[in-house]
Amino acid sequence: MKGVLKKIVWGTAAVCLLAAPAVQAENIKIGAIFAVTGGASFLGGPEARSAEMVVEEINKAGGINGNTLELIIKDSGANPEKAISFAKQLIEEDKVLAIIGPSTSGETMKLKKIAEQGKTPLISCGAAEVIVNPVAKYVFKTPQKDSFAVKKIYGEMKKLGMTKIAVVAGNTGFGKAGKAQLLKAAPEFGIEVVAAETYDKKATDLTALVAKLMANKDIQAVVNWSIVPAQAIIAKNMRQAGWDVPLFQSHGFGNIKYVEAAGAAAEGIIFPAGRLLIAESLPDSNPQKALLLKYTNDYEGKYKEAASTFGGHGYDAITILATAIGNGGTDRDKLRDAIENIKNLPGTGGVFSFSAEDHNGLDIESFVMLTVKDGKFVAYEGK
């Protein structure tokens, strides 16, 4: 009996699926490690829900080549040791074809060696560039590179005539990597980092740090690099102290919950992000628009919460993986090759084109500059 050819479309990305006879079908086990609970749940929760939503859609449409996806989600709570244990379990016991996640850069860096040794493709939702630079054969990631985010921020500062700044960062893997990129790239843009500070990821009050920075009258702007709740706290503490220098945030600010947490202090914050947060304002000719609107509508309709760039990372990870399975099948090495050969695939973070040298697949144009106006994200027009 011959199968029936179907096509499933995620936004503007299409994959051909074959609804094969039931006797030929199998479950394709996909592992997922997300911080569904704990301090990074604002990352892992949306990522897990997005991945589940896509898998459900794929399976309802007949699966991939007639095979059903089985998503096995492990909640790491952003704990690297748990992530290590879960990765080994997924590879050695569950025999998964690939793993998506984890949610954070610190966890991902602990799993790179495990993925390489297990010859298991890993598509991380962590943002730090060190995840894919240098390239590891089986490791990929969906968020844009932090070096590109730095260059977008510094490019805007240069337009504004800013030359002396302060850099602050959370003591997470993402914060440490971003701080290093900020310090490295500053001379290229004629910017001097006159203060560089790190704060604890569990900090609930940063008034002392703000007071220390305010004492330096040379500081023209502050860049905060963080994915933890303290990025809202520093905004509040700066404004409570009456310090009105511009505050730039990393692409880790792309969740409206941070704006809600900071309240009025979030107004005017400037940060780089993908186009998901301003999808409705994009021209119809934009290759991402249809996908972004579909993802937003599907996610918000299903889960009754605002879509975020973080959920988008999970959406992109499972979509990239499903596309590669459709093209390369269920052999791990062929799947790895299929991921590396994906070209011009629209996602929430940008249009992905991977290569042997680039396991992120996005360029600097995947970022736009956004700001907060009246409690909402809008395109930043400059001054």
- Segment 236-250 mean pLDDT: 97
| pLDDT in the model for residue 382 | 82
Query: In sequence order, what DSSP letters do the residues of 304-317 get, joined into one string?
Result: SS---HHHHHHHHH
Tell me: do 62 and 161 sit in the same domain.
no
User: Is 227 in the same domain as 373?
Assistant: yes
Residue 280 lies in a domain: no
In the predicted model, what is the mean pLDDT of the chain?
93
> Domain containing 254: what range?
146-273+368-379
Tell which residue, 104, 105, 72, 69, has the closest CA to residue 86: 72
Residue 86 phi, psi (nearest 5): -65, -40
- Mean pLDDT of all residues in 160-172: 97
- As a whole number, mean pLDDT of residues 371-382 equals 95
The whole-model pTM stands at 0.88
Query: Are residues 71 and 168 both part of a single domain?
Result: no
**279 part of a folded domain:** no
The answer to whether residue 220 scores a pLDDT higher than 70 is yes
Judgement on whether residues 375 and 237 belong to the same structural domain of the protein: yes
CA angle 335–338–339, rounded 5-degree value = 90
The answer to whether residue 246 sits within a structural domain is yes
Question: In terms of domains, do 182 and 42 share one?
Answer: no
- Is the same domain home to 50 and 140? yes
Do 163 and 205 lie in one domain? The reply is yes
How would residue 8 be classed by pLDDT, with cut points 50, 70 and 90? very low
- In eight-state DSSP terms, residue 209 is H
Percent of the chain at pLDDT exceeding 70:
93
Indicate which CATH number applies to the domain containing 309: 3.40.50.2300
Query: Residue 281 falls within a domain, yes or no?
Result: no
| Per-residue pLDDT, 25 | 67
Per the domain annotation, does 359 fall within a domain?
no
**Do residue 129 and residue 249 come from a single domain?**
no
Beta strand pairing call for 351-352 and 368-373: unpaired
Q: Within this chain, do residues 17 and 71 fall inside the same structural domain, yes or no?
A: yes
pLDDT digits (tens, 9 = 90+) for 19-50: 434 445 689 999 999 999 998 899 999 999 99
* Reported confidence tier of residue 113, pLDDT bands at 50, 70, 90: very high
Please tell me the predicted confidence (pLDDT) of residue 228: 83
Confidence (pLDDT) at 296? 97
Q: How much is the average pLDDT of 328-356?
A: 97
Indicate whether 123 belongs to any domain: yes
pLDDT score for 277 = 95
Residue 9 falls inside a structural domain: yes
Contacts of 208 (CB under 8 A, 6+ apart): none
* 229: confidence class by pLDDT, cuts 50, 70, 90: confident
Residue that is written with structure tokens 């949306």 in the block: 46
**Residue 310, amino acid:** F
pLDDT for the residue 24: 57
Q: Which amino acid is at 356?
A: A
CB neighbour list of residue 69: distance below 8 Å, 6 or more residues apart: 27, 28, 30, 55, 58, 59, 63, 322
Which of 289, 360, 323 lies closest to 127 in space, CA to CA?
360
Query: What distance in Å separates the CA atoms of residue 338 and residue 192, rounded to the nearest whole number?
Result: 43
DSSP states of 107-161: HHHHHHHHHHHTT--EEE----GGGTSS--TTEEE-SPPHHHHHHHHHHHHHHTT
Q: Are residues 178 and 255 in the same domain?
A: yes
Residue 379 clears pLDDT 90, i.e. is over it: yes
Q: Are 237 and 217 in contact (CB under 8 A)?
A: no
- Rounded Cα distance between 111 and 139, Å, is 9
Would 361 be classed as within a structural domain? Answer: no
Cα separation, 351 vs 364, whole angstroms: 11
Segment 367-383 mean pLDDT: 94
322 in the same domain as 239: no
Specify the pLDDT at position 64.
Answer: 97
* pLDDT tens sequence across 260-301: 999 999 999 999 999 999 999 999 999 999 999 999 999 999
Shared-domain flag, residues 125 and 152? no
Looking at the structure of the chain, the number of domains it has is: 2
